[in-house]
Every structure is written in structure tokens, then in C-alpha cells.
Amino acid sequence: MPLNPQVETFLQQTYAAGFTPYEDLPPEAGRHQEHSDISPARPPEEMAAVEHRFIPGPTADLPVRIYRPKHSEQPQPALIYFHGSGWMVSNIEINDPFSRALAKNCGVVVIAVNYQKAPEHKFPIPMDDCYAATLWVFKHAERLGLDPKRIGIFGDSAGANLAAAVALRCRDEDSADLACQVLVYPPVQYGWHTASAERYARGFLLHKDSMKYYWNHYLRSPADAIHPYCSPLLATDHSKLPTTLLYCAECDPLCDDSRLYADKLATSGVAVHYQRYPGTIHGFIKMLGVFDQADEFQRDVGAQVRELLTVKD
């Protein structure tokens, strides 16, 4: 399918303006570029409350933001959110507009976690941080005004890799009963040889070489690449994982990773909703006010999360 016209125009303007692929930048310069690109196309959603705090992690205190779309005396459902950008270059401040939109459209409390970043903090530290944050939310659910039976996890891109790993670990260690996992264009295996990785290798914002760059900064050694908490597709058992909502973009090197993981989960007896957005690119869900498909995603995920977590207005 051809590119969505909004996406095609955006890509033409981005490359004409001199966009530098992240694989051509050192990590610090990549982080600077990520910060410089932030220009919300619409005002952020108003929240009833936003709380900034630090929680204990295995090796450092972790910043989190808790977004409450409304006040309630009743325990609320929640999504624990792990942001993307290659395990390296983003943070919860950059993702603030998205976290607000997610909270409003899903009608849930969103707890955004600022895990430590590669390459200074390689695997398994980011995953350990996200796992520890998940356990912290469950442990303090009552104090946070949350219903522990209605807590899920959400991740996009590298954050979806972390979310998938956390779901596997929660099942393996029987430590938290997640209500759902929401994975958006997750990289679920080390490697760049799927059909989509070849078809959309360059020119679609996220490059095949970008993923190689990110992965090689995240891993300590080739042995990490086959660890199931690093490459969730390679886990020997995918049964008894939470209901999964899996979304991807057609024109994305990672598109086939989503399809492969959806198939793996489904054949293992996991309830899976898989949805591919045609003619769009990696990162589209953050382009609120720029791509109509970003709003479409918010409507879709909002309806599906509300149904899963039985939100009552």
C-alpha cells in the first residue's frame, strides 16, 4: 500500500530539513536531537492531577509520573507505561503529551517510568528497572488508589520490548498478575533480516541500521541477544501471558516483528488483538495533530483498553 499522504509529506519535509539518522550520531547527540524535535502539534490534554515522584529501583531511584485523568473515590484501573526510542534517547518529559492522551482516551491512571538508558546502562538494567517499577505499582496499589486486578502494561518500540520482557518475567516469577499487555511496534528479536526490515530499510524515519545501532548499544554481548527477556520471541514458552493488544505500522522495519509475536502468542493460547495501520511509519502514535492515524490509534486503544479493564464512567 502507498504511504498515507500525511506521512509522505512529513517524510519529505523531515529529510529535506536535514534529519540525521540516529545511527549517524553518538548517543549524546541523539538525545539532543530527540529533545530538539519536541514541538507538540496541539496543547497537551488536561489532567485532574499529575504527580512527579521517585521510586526505588534495583540500582538507582527512578523518576515516574502518575497521570490521573479524573478524580475518583473508587480504585482505578491503570497502565504502567514504558516509552520507546531505542532504549537510549528519550524520557518521560518528551513523552508527556502522549502519556496525557493515553490516560484520557483509555480512562485509566498512567504511570510513566523513566528507566535508565543504554549505553551507560545496558541490558538487563532497563528491563530490571521496568520490572521493579511494575512490582512497586502492585505493592502500592491501594495507596495509589488503583485496583490491582485492573493493572496492565503499555510500551511502544523499545518500551514494548521492555513491556513484553516484564510480562514474561512476571509470569515466570509469579510476581504480578497483569491484566493486559499493550505492545506497539515492538522489537521482539535481535536481528534485521525480516521482509519488512529489508523492504523499509531506509527512508521511513526508523532505518534498519537504526535498529542495529540501538540493539548493539543495548546488549552487553552477543549472548544477551538470545535471552528471552531481551528477545521475547525466543522464549521457549509463551503460554499464560496476559491478554495482548498488539499494534504496528505497515511501513516500518519492525512490522514483521509484531506479526511474528502475535502469531507466537496466539498459538500458545494467549488472547491477542493484532492491528496493522496501513501506509504509516514507526512512531506514528506520537504524531497527534500531525497524522490522523495517531488519533485513530488513540480511539482504538482507548476502546480496547476500556473494554479489557472494565472502566465505568
Q: What is the residue-level pLDDT of the chain in tens, covering all 313 positions?
A: 799 999 999 999 999 998 888 889 888 888 888 877 655 578 899 999 999 999 999 999 999 999 999 999 999 999 999 999 999 999 999 999 999 999 999 999 999 999 999 999 999 999 999 999 999 999 999 999 999 999 999 999 999 999 999 999 999 999 999 999 999 999 999 988 899 999 999 999 999 999 999 999 999 999 999 999 999 999 999 999 999 999 999 999 999 999 999 999 999 999 999 999 999 999 999 999 999 999 999 999 999 999 999 755 5
d(C-alpha 111, C-alpha 133), whole Å: 9
Domain holding 211, by residue range, is 5-309
Backbone angles phi and psi of 124, in degrees to 5: -100, 15
d(C-alpha 41, C-alpha 205), whole Å: 19
Task: Please answer whether residues 225 and 301 qualify as being in contact, where contact means their C-beta atoms are separated by less than 8 angstroms.
Answer: no
In the sheet with 49-56, reading across from the earlier edge strand, the strands are 49-56, 61-68, 109-113, 76-82, 146-156, 181-184, 244-251, 272-281
Neighbours of 199 (CB within 10 A): 15
Burial of 37 (0-12, 13-18, 19+ CB in 10 A): exposed
- CA distances (Å), 121 to each of 93, 96, 130, 212, 218, in order? 19, 23, 13, 17, 8
DSSP 8-state assignment for residue 253: T
The pLDDT of residue 39: 54
DSSP 8-state assignment for residue 114: -
The pLDDT of residue 38: 54
The pLDDT of residue 311: 58
Q: What stretch of H or E contains 196?
A: helix 195-199
CATH of the domain at 23: 3.40.50.1820
Cα torsion 128, 105, 296, 207 to 10°: value is -20
> How many structural domains is the chain composed of?
1
- CA distances (Å), 262 to each of 89, 200, 213, in order? 27, 20, 25
Identity of the residue numbered 299: R
DSSP 8-state assignment for residue 232: G
The pLDDT of residue 33: 84
The pLDDT of residue 310: 77
Question: Nearest CA to 270 among 235, 224, 225?
Answer: 235
* Those residues with Cβ within 8 angstroms of residue 36's Cβ, 6 or more apart along the chain or in another chain: none
Q: Which residues are catalytic?
A: 157, 252, 282
The pLDDT of residue 1: 75
- The whole-model pTM stands at 0.97
The pLDDT of residue 312: 52
The pLDDT of residue 30: 85
Query: Using omega within 30 degrees of 0 as the cis cutoff, is the peptide bond preceding 186 cis?
Result: no
d(C-alpha 139, C-alpha 148), whole Å: 9
- Would you give the distance in Å from CA 199 to the centre of its chain? 23
